[in-house]
Structure 1
Amino acid sequence: MSTIQNEKGKMTNYRWMICSMLFFATTVNYLDRQVLSLTWKDFIAPEFHWTNDDYGNITALFSIIYAFSMLFAGRLIDWLDTKKGFLWAIGVWSLGACIHAFCGIATSGIVAGEWFVGFEGAREAISHVNNVGLIVNVSVTLFIFARFVLAVGEAGNFPAAIKATAEYFPKKDRALATSIFNAGATVGALAAPISIPVIAKHFGWEMAFIIIGALGFIWMGFWVFIYKKPEKHPLVNAAELHYIQQDKDHAPMDKNNQPQRKLTFAECFKFKQTWAFAFGKFMTDGVWWFFLFWTPAYLSSVYGMKSSEPTAQLALFVLYAITLLSIIGGWLPSYFVDKKGMNPYAGRMKSMLIFAFFPLLAILAQPLGYISYWFPVIIIGIAGAAHQAWSANIFSTIGDMFPKSAIATITGIGGMAGGVGSFLINKGSGLLFDHSETTNMKFMGFEGIESGYFIIFCICAVAYLIGWVVMKALVPKYQPIVVE
């Protein structure tokens, strides 16, 4: 029994209940994002005549809206605080998820004058309109609006989750807690291919958005009753509270023993630590979003595997099952801290360097794909696991460096940078894939759309090492921010 337990009684473990709620929120978050990627190619595109570039525009604009929303969502959550901020975020994004379902009816109303019809009636009305360009423009615009609402809400997930983690876990456990709740992204990605295409096939793509979107409203009902600050929660006893607050940073004081003032928004940009985190996110977030948004289309375009077919669903399930290995990302820095005596930041940076080498395998994804599609599936899964492990640690560097009152704001700033990176890779991918397909482009022995995917895979492969080098150059050693 630990000293804390001896002095204050047996320690409760309510912090893991909070971690589980963050896990489920992240799972719902990623399910909502995946609905479009798993339905557009086989269900939505035939109805609205979309091309890869149209889809690329939608995903790219989602990324840029998400990016700038994160900039303000983090600040808003620091102002509203964790409980209210999370309710705001998930409420908005669940509404946005459900709005997608009505884009078909709205398109029918605009292009065919048929407003008061059901989902089937909308499809029928659109099919009789000969102006394909109008259908494309209207439907893409409506989906962009729905993605706008989704992006604004989803931007609040990680700032709120990282802030809750800092409130309920000491520094040495935050990477582990982050890797656990961040695994919700993987579980969401696992559940998506075996549920969303099935719903779309049997009930229509519209019901996939509605059913998955409704999960967020259910989560909100639990959060209202479960979350309180640890120092105010009746289910957190003295021993657990002492463990949570062992870093003595729960109520930081200045040199006059007064509560530290909060950093202003502008001040946050003055620190190299902010820019290091932001650059790391800029270089790597787009890789994850590329894998998330384009893998179903990749399997369909290159290997002819539709997302509604069992073979494609199994491949995607295996891919995202592999990414569950990312939980190691939370354990490894704890090993370096506890066994090697490193400070948390040094342990995280060493761990991130190790994880940065695994995405290099992506260079081999397309070449080995000639042998079997299982090679790119497994390689993308390994690269995804490395990303999630990297992500758990880069998020935790914020709590290492910044006071708790600024954590959501800094998370938002980095999220904005990651969203810009995601915008660039999604927009660029859509243009490149259409160009490579229509011109039968040849590159490094590949032809057509395969050459386009090979180029993007190579960019993804080196992004993490570049990000790590720049982060290390900006913040070579542990430098916590002290507010004067």
Structure 2
Amino acid sequence: MNQQTALGQQSVGNYRWTICGLLFFATTVNYLDRQVLSLLSPELMQLYHWNNNDYGNITALFTFVYAISMIFAGRFIDKFGTKNGYIIAIAIWSVGAAIHAFAYEMGAGFYTFLSWIGLADIDQASGTVNGVAAITAYSVAGFMIARAVLAFGEAGNFPAAIKATAEYFPKKERSFATGIFNSGANVGAILAPLTVPVIGVMWGWQWAFIIVGVIGLAWIVFWWVWYDKPSEQKRLTDSERAYINSDVAESEAVEEQVKTSWFTLLSYRQTWAFAFGKFMTDGVWWFFLFWLPIYLGKQYGMQKTEIALPIALIYTLTMFGSIGGGAFPGYFIKKGMDAFNARRTAMLVIALFPLVVLLAQPLGHISVWIPILLIAVGASAHQAWSANIFTTVSDMFPKKAVGSVVGIGGFAGGMGGVLLNKLGGGLFDHFEKMGNTAMGYSIMFAICATAYLIAWFVMRLLVPKYKPITDL
């Protein structure tokens, strides 16, 4: 009997895993593209005379546009279809990545246009724009334009990948397939510090942006050739197509349900609990992603290729947090807890781990590797937290509302990222002027360390006990 089952599974076919591989590669490129700026930021800040607030504005705009775009990304993919929608999204973000190389020229053109319509004062003699040095004003404007294009396109990655997974995998395999392509985020975060500084040293910083942009455009060719709807996919065997559609009737029944409006969902405490949890904690991940290279440069004098190993180590460890965090509630379920309380208990334990980041500054004088390892623990805890907070939505809401609630939470998380990036830039400039750079990082690390406990207690206050929504 076991042999027959094994033979049956082998005869199904495996083309769906080729699609999963394409999703993994796209997600890897997605994180490569967004991380190039942070890895080159010490060099760019010196080249264009940015202060921390200038850089904070650039990164805050990315998170703001990303958050806004996430609201509409799912509907965009639904409208254009998985194949064409994904192509459009990755084409936009690949172009957005590449045009960073021409940011100064774009900024100069932008301000020239504003001067024509009377909204900017360009003084050619003194080299200033509205009283700001032209080299700074032009570059900041140009990078903000490029980041906005990048964010707009990148918002389409996860909705498209999740939709493709739903099309190509039966329900029992979807979580595994999602876990595989989602791990591309961690792989991209690891590959970026190992490659981008080297490209910058060998060929110049502009080529780092151009090359990662070209990689994304190359992916489009493979996607165009290898992806079609399962019903139109000639590479699928009849048995694999039947296997994929084994629960299609149930899926279609779910999709045909009327979607619930945001206004209705915002009337529930459960929605606010999830949104607050995302608002408090997503910004921590964005802060680490965008500011760690600058921190290592300002505090420890690490430059260019020197930051490659520390950053790669941090994001390598986050993979263990993501996998372990997702499995952690199972320990409490085995102890007799129901799934919701097991998840909430696991999240409380996870929320304690980022507290070690409070020691990053006090112990940093011993060795640079101490704050690196402590931050790695905090970043890993974030991934473990994220693996669970998303699942709380499906615990509390019917399937037809899950996508909308996740969209609300994604927007809230993006706004949290905007706030932390702006706050960080302002604090760092303030304390650098006072000659106490370390204090700015101490404050930001304290916020990052305690954000998860604050989020957990407020979420608990809003939803004190398991109460699924049944009246939608």
Q: TM-score range by the shorter chain?
A: 0.7 to 0.9
How far apart, in 2, do the equivalents of 1:144 and 1:157 lie? 21
Aligned partner letter, 2:253: P
The aligned residue for residue 438 of structure 2 is 450
Matched, 1:148 2:148: yes
Matched, 1:134 2:134: yes
SS of corresponding position for 2:421 = helix
How far apart, in 2, do the equivalents of 1:223 and 1:401 lie? 36
The aligned residue for residue 119 of structure 1 is none
Closer/same/farther in 2, CA of residues 37 and 85 from structure 1, 3 Å limit? same
How far apart, in 1, do the equivalents of 2:8 and 2:198 lie? 52
Deviation at 1:392?
A: 2.7
Are the counterparts in 2 of residues 4 and 239 from structure 1 also a CA contact under 8 Å?
no
List gaps (5 residues or longer) in structure 1.
Answer: 114-127, 441-447
Aligned partner letter, 2:29: V
Closer/same/farther in 2, CA of residues 168 and 363 from structure 1, 3 Å limit? farther
Are the counterparts in 1 of residues 325 and 383 from structure 2 also a CA contact under 8 Å?
no
Closer/same/farther in 2, CA of residues 170 and 55 from structure 1, 3 Å limit? same
How far apart, in 1, do the equivalents of 2:177 and 2:341 lie? 18
Q: How many percent identity over aligned positions?
A: 50
Equivalent residue in structure 2 for 1:436, among 431, 439, 446? 431
The aligned residue for residue 37 of structure 1 is 38
Aligned pair count reads 455
Equivalent residue in structure 1 for 2:362, among 367, 373, 384? 367
Are the counterparts in 2 of residues 162 and 408 from structure 1 also a CA contact under 8 Å?
no
Deviation at 1:224?
A: 3.2
Cα deviation 1:188-232 (Å, max 9, x = unaligned)? 121111211111222221111111112222222333344456677
User: Which structure 2 residues correspond to residues 204-283 of structure 1 after superposition, within 5 A?
Assistant: 204-228=204-228, 235=236, 249-252=250-253, 259-283=256-280
SS of corresponding position for 1:252 = helix
Matched, 1:93 2:93: yes
How far apart, in 2, do the equivalents of 1:108 and 1:102 lie? 10
How far apart, in 2, do the equivalents of 1:82 and 1:4 lie? 35
Are the counterparts in 2 of residues 26 and 157 from structure 1 also a CA contact under 8 Å?
yes
Equivalent residue in structure 2 for 1:315, among 310, 313, 316? 310
Are the counterparts in 2 of residues 230 and 236 from structure 1 also a CA contact under 8 Å?
no
How far apart, in 1, do the equivalents of 2:3 and 2:201 lie? 57
Deviates more, 1:462-471 or 1:395-404: 395-404
Are the counterparts in 2 of residues 176 and 327 from structure 1 also a CA contact under 8 Å?
no
User: Which structure 2 residues correspond to residues 330-409 of structure 1 after superposition, within 5 A?
Assistant: 331-332=326-327, 335-336=330-331, 339=334, 345-400=340-395, 407-409=402-404
Closer/same/farther in 2, CA of residues 100 and 408 from structure 1, 3 Å limit? farther
The aligned residue for residue 298 of structure 2 is 301
User: Which structure 2 residues correspond to residues 18-29 of structure 1 after superposition, within 5 A?
Assistant: 18-29=19-30
Matched, 1:471 2:459: yes
Aligned partner letter, 1:455: I
Aligned partner letter, 1:185: A
Are the counterparts in 1 of residues 28 and 184 from structure 2 also a CA contact under 8 Å?
yes
Are the counterparts in 1 of residues 63 and 418 from structure 2 also a CA contact under 8 Å?
yes
The aligned residue for residue 412 of structure 2 is 417
Matched, 1:161 2:161: yes
Closer/same/farther in 2, CA of residues 106 and 240 from structure 1, 3 Å limit? closer
Are the counterparts in 2 of residues 75 and 409 from structure 1 also a CA contact under 8 Å?
no
List gaps (5 residues or longer) in structure 2.
Answer: 114-124
Aligned partner letter, 1:159: P
How far apart, in 2, do the equivalents of 1:314 and 1:188 lie? 14
Closer/same/farther in 2, CA of residues 48 and 4 from structure 1, 3 Å limit? farther
The aligned residue for residue 122 of structure 2 is none
Deviates more, 1:171-180 or 1:467-476: 171-180
Closer/same/farther in 2, CA of residues 463 and 334 from structure 1, 3 Å limit? closer
How far apart, in 1, do the equivalents of 2:144 and 2:166 lie? 34
Closer/same/farther in 2, CA of residues 40 and 348 from structure 1, 3 Å limit? same
Closer/same/farther in 2, CA of residues 405 and 422 from structure 1, 3 Å limit? same
Deviates more, 1:398-407 or 1:324-333: 398-407
Are the counterparts in 1 of residues 326 and 384 from structure 2 also a CA contact under 8 Å?
no
Are the counterparts in 2 of residues 74 and 411 from structure 1 also a CA contact under 8 Å?
no
